[in-house]
Amino acid sequence: MATNGALGRKLRMGIVGGGQGSFIGRVHVTAAVLDNRAALVAGAFSSDAARSKASAADYDVDPSRAYGSYQELFDKERALPADRRVDFVSIATPNHMHFPVAKAAVEAGFHVVCDKPLTLTLAEAEALAKLVSSSQGVFAVTHNYTGYPLVRQAREMILAGELGEIQAIRAEYIQGWLRTRLESEGQKQAAWRTDPTKSGAAGCFGDIGTHAYNLGRYMTGLLPEKISANLKVFVPGRSLDDYGHAVIRYENGALGTVTASQISHGRENDVRIQIDGTSGSLEWHQEEPNKMIVRRNGQPHAIYTRDPNAPFMNASGKAACRLPSGHPEAFFEAFANVYRAAFDAMADAATGAVPEKTNTIYPNIHDGVEGMYFIEQSVASSKADGAWLPLKHPLARR
């Protein structure tokens, strides 16, 4: 069995969300068990109690631990002996439920892995951050693109100065699935994402723009200063943005752009990032995640492939690989790398160590707060005709 250090056993996982017909909950569970360091033992899988019970069999969870609500999950699990109850809870519900569930989980003493965006509002995110800062628990946020080996490779290269000073970041997340009003055709995922009471102040910019923004922050470590954004609703009848772009000024003078679309014909999950430094530039696409291009004027373009044995790979890149080069690794493995780092912290916490809350390999509560600030300032800037607004939150990762 893969190690959980001094803990000496698998971590016990509970999940909220992930019921029949849902998307990302199954990915959380698959990612969490990939390294054989965790097992799913309990869940409140759905907002509907009967569907929650019905979903248990899909995960081989004992029916007695398929709960009708998240409150019941926390109450009943807390009452179990310490050697049976869940260690951590993953949250894979629509956005409006992240805060109540995460708050209850932290208060009940469980570690948390929460999906993005962190909460429905910035105020909720700030309240949650306060709670997490005084807890002993690990809190990870699944900005899962940070888990790709070549993203980790790029991050270490950039932080070591291999591209010189970073002057420009172009981050995009382009989809096309909301080109029509899918939300009026009973498509569940579209319905809540386009509903401000469930999605939050932004649509596309909250759902996927936050991933693109987070990727630039994670890979460069540059602190933002100001943002100017233009968000648009292009599909008639929709109330939240389905397209937008933002310009970001970073403290060191760099310029960044974030473009997010859900209305671009034929585009699937096209997350792309291009970063320009004074001595090199790089480019990475998640739809072809095992390659990264590094360019330097006057030299042939270098294609880095994900290869755990290659001398050009650095320690962060190698540590994030599971398979030899050429066997494609992708979404599940990257997601599992977020879990792997969070599990290391949970295993440490079991020895009494207080978890590091800010400088973690996995995206954490600070990244979550920054994502919410990005959303709220983008929406506010757009409403004010692209006015420049502050973007450096006091709780920003640094």
Radius of gyration of the chain, Cα coordinates, nearest whole angstrom: 20
Q: How many CA atoms lie within 13 A of 169 on its CB side?
A: 29
Q: How far is the CB of 183 from ligand NAD (least distance, A)?
A: 12
For ligand NAD, the closer CB: 107 or 251: 107
For ligand NAD, the closer CB: 72 or 165: 72
88 near 77, Cβ under 8 Å? no
Residue 105, token pair as written in the block: 């989980």
| Omega within 30 of 0 (cis) for the link into 289 | no
322 CB burial (10 A radius; 0-12, 13-18, 19+): middle
Residue 361, token pair as written in the block: 């390999």
Q: Closest by alpha carbon to 228, among 208, 200, 255, 197?
A: 255
Residues between 153 and 192 with contacts to ligand NAD, criterion CB under 6 A: 188-189, 192
Q: Of 34, 97, 157, 292, which lies in the binding site for ligand NAD, with binding defined by CB under 6 A?
A: 97
Residues between 202 and 261 with contacts to ligand NAD, criterion CB under 6 A: 207
Residue 351, token pair as written in the block: 């020895």
What per-residue string of b and e applies to 65-97 under the rule 16 or more CB within 10 Å gives b? bbbbebeebbeebeeeeeeebbbbbbbbbbbbb
Residue 17 in the binding site for ligand NAD (CB under 6 A) = yes
Total number of residues that touch ligand NAD (CB under 6 A): 25
For ligand NAD, the closer CB: 129 or 271: 271
354 near 133, Cβ under 8 Å? no
Query: x-or-dash pattern for ligand NAD, window 116-155, by CB under 6 A?
Result: x-------------------------x-x-----------
Query: x-or-dash pattern for ligand NAD, window 66-85, by CB under 6 A?
Result: ----x---------------
Interacting stretch for ligand NAD, rule CB under 6 A, among 18-26, 148-156, 300-308, 374-382? 18-26
Question: How many other CB atoms are there within 10 angstroms of residue 105's CB atom?
Answer: 28
Q: Of 23, 251, 278, 327, which lies in the binding site for ligand NAD, with binding defined by CB under 6 A?
A: 23
Residue 88 parent element (H or E): strand 88-92
For ligand NAD, the closer CB: 97 or 345: 97
Interacting stretch for ligand NAD, rule CB under 6 A, among 93-101, 246-254, 256-264, 280-288? 93-101
Site for ligand NAD, rule CB under 6 A: 16-19, 22-25, 44, 46-47, 70, 92-95, 97, 115-116, 142, 144, 188-189, 192, 207
